[in-house]
């Protein structure tokens, strides 16, 4: 009995220690996998400064604040079955042609296939690692999005007519601009507080973003996110 009492805490301690070490080992392996397979196109550590040249030649979106941007479940799903998010590619001007009918996307210049596809295990591990990249947390600390019910019709009108978002973004697959990411999947992809923060001040996240800062009041920002949430799963 005495031996049991004494050895129990010790075995518990070594047990936790081993689990801790194993977790560190797994995390290091995930970091290595992502560095090896993803860093050629994605920035994984916060750069000191971002020039316009850097912005225009980005091969993929920055991932160094991925943990403050994406929903983990979406990452796991998308990495196994990636679909195009930016209809005009990373920088639309590199992929559009000016014609008499307006700008058209040169489909042949877009990467095909859309993205590397990961196995379920690699997708889960990469997503878990990406969620640990949490630069710019201070921006999210200022957000406190609380959902409100809005009508879809008013939301759509606000998005396209009043705020002009559809000149660059699509709120449905067949309507809207192509210079920004599609937004009918935004709520599935992105954390709500990231969306409010980005709409409030795009340049705080992407210093050279072409998206204008509209200096919207809290209510105006929330209304747009309410609308994007309404589109989830549509």
Of 85, 131, 135, 204, the one binding ligand HEC by CB under 6 A: 85
Of 41, 131, 140, 150, the one binding ligand HEC by CB under 6 A: 41
Q: Would you list the DSSP string of the chain?
A: -HHHHHHHHHHHHHHHHHHHHHHHHHHHHHHHHHHHHHTTTS--S--S---HHHHHT-SS---TTGGGTB-HHHHHHHHHS---S-TT-SSGGGSEEEETTEEEE-GGGS-SSSS----HHHHHHHHHHHTT--TTHHHHHT---------HHHHHHIIIIIS-GGGT-EEETTEE-SSS--STTHHHHB-HHHHHHHHH-HHHHSTT-SS------HHHHHHHHHHHHHTTT-
Spell out, one character per residue from 116 to 155, where the chain touches ligand HEC: x when CB under 6 A holds, - when not: x-x-------x-----------------------------
Contact status: 50 vs ligand HEC (CB under 6 A): no
Shortest distance (Å) from residue 159 CB to ligand HEC: 6
Contact status: 196 vs ligand HEC (CB under 6 A): no
Shortest distance (Å) from residue 154 CB to ligand HEC: 14
123 contacts 108 by C-beta, under 8 angstroms = no
Contact status: 165 vs ligand HEC (CB under 6 A): yes
Contact status: 68 vs ligand HEC (CB under 6 A): no
Contact status: 198 vs ligand HEC (CB under 6 A): yes
Contact status: 186 vs ligand HEC (CB under 6 A): yes
Stretch that binds ligand HEC, among 7-15, 95-103, 115-123, 144-152 (CB under 6 A): 115-123
Assigned token pair, 111 = 């990467």
Contact status: 169 vs ligand HEC (CB under 6 A): yes
86 contacts 109 by C-beta, under 8 angstroms = no
Upstream peptide bond of 84 is cis (omega within 30 degrees of 0): no
| Cβ neighbours of 126 (radius 10 Å) | 22
Contact status: 178 vs ligand HEC (CB under 6 A): no
Shortest distance (Å) from residue 13 CB to ligand HEC: 36
Of 17 and 73, nearer to ligand HEC (C-beta) is: 73
Binding-residue total with ligand HEC (CB under 6 A) = 44
- Which spans of this chain sit near ligand HEC (rule: CB under 6 A)? 34, 37-38, 40-42, 59-61, 75, 79, 84-86, 90, 111, 114-116, 118, 126, 163-165, 167-169, 179-181, 183, 186, 190, 195, 198-199, 202, 206, 209-212, 214, 224
């Amino acid at each position: 009995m005495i031996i049991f009492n004494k050895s129990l805490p010790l075995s518990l301690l070594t047990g936790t220690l081993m689990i801790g070490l194993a977790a560190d080992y797994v995390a290091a392996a995930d970091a290595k996998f992502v560095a090896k397979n993803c860093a050629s196109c994605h920035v994984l550590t916060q750069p000191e400064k971002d020039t316009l040249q850097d912005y225009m030649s980005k091969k993929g979106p920055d991932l160094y604040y991925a943990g403050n941007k994406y929903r983990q479940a979406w990452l796991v799903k998308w990495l196994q079955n990636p679909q195009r998010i930016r209809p005009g590619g990373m920088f639309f001007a590199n992929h559009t042609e000016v014609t008499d009918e307006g700008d058209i996307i040169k489909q042949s210049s877009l990467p095909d296939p859309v993205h590397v596809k990961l196995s379920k295990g690699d997708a889960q591990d990469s997503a878990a690692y990406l969620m640990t990249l949490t630069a710019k947390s201070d921006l999210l600390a200022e957000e406190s999005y609380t959902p409100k019910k809005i009508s879809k019709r008013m939301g759509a009108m606000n998005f396209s007519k009043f705020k002009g978002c559809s000149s660059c973004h699509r709120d449905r697959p067949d309507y809207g601009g192509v210079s920004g990411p599609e937004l009918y999947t935004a709520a599935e992809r992105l954390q709500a507080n990231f969306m409010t923060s980005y709409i409030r001040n795009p340049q705080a996240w992407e210093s050279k973003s072409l998206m204008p800062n509209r200096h919207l009041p809290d209510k105006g920002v929330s209304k747009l996110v309410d609308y994007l949430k309404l589109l989830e799963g549509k």
